[in-house]
Amino acid sequence: MKYWLVKSEPNAYSWDDFVKLGRDHWDGVRNYQARNNLKLMEEGDEVLFYHSVNDKQVVGIARVVREHYPDPTTDDDRWVVVDLVPVRALDHPVTLAQIKAEPKLEGLALIRNSRLSVMPVSKEHFDIIVKMGEQE
């Protein structure tokens, strides 16, 4: 199993929007590195859902339920999507500031390449962020 982080602007597509749908394809990726990451996702992989722009926080956990296929929002065959389902919201969102302040998260792609919308996360980093989201 692999671990990932996907980013979405909450005013365009929030965790709550995703939960209401129950399952959705992750579309609109127009960056080659992010697209390549989508192509590496496998069914069962776990995904951190990150609200970007204003909130800048991890808010939930999703799971990959369908591996990459052509993006239905474009006729350009270079772009792909994966299907995700929400697993659960974190008890407490984990902010970018908290992530940057945690020495064990040094090297996290979110800190190194903040503009990338789909990125790998190590199991160790995934577990640390989830634990941070469960603490009071």
Residue 136's pLDDT band, with cuts at 50, 70 and 90, is low
CA nearest 57: which of 16, 106, 98, 109? 98
- In sign, the C-alpha dihedral spanning 70, 72, 76, 78 is negative
Distance CA 48, CA 114 (A): 15
Helix (H) or strand (E) holding 10, with range, is: none
pLDDT digits (tens, 9 = 90+) for 13-68: 999 999 999 999 999 899 999 999 999 999 999 999 999 998 999 999 999 999 99
Fold exhibited by the domain 3-134: ph1033 like fold (3.10.590)
pLDDT digits (tens, 9 = 90+) for 81-119: 999 999 999 999 999 999 999 999 999 999 988 789 999
Helix (H) or strand (E) holding 96, with range, is: helix 96-101
Query: For the residues 2-20, what does the mean pLDDT come to?
Result: 97
pLDDT confidence of residue 114: 79
Instruction: Please give the C-alpha separations between residue 85 and each of 21, 65, 89, in angstroms, as whole numbers.
Output: 9, 7, 12
Residue 135's pLDDT band, with cuts at 50, 70 and 90, is confident
Distance CA 26, CA 39 (A): 12
Instruction: Please give the C-alpha separations between residue 12 and each of 7, 96, 114, 121, in angstroms, as whole numbers.
Output: 11, 19, 18, 24
Through-space distance between the first and last CA atoms of the chain, rounded to whole angstroms: 28
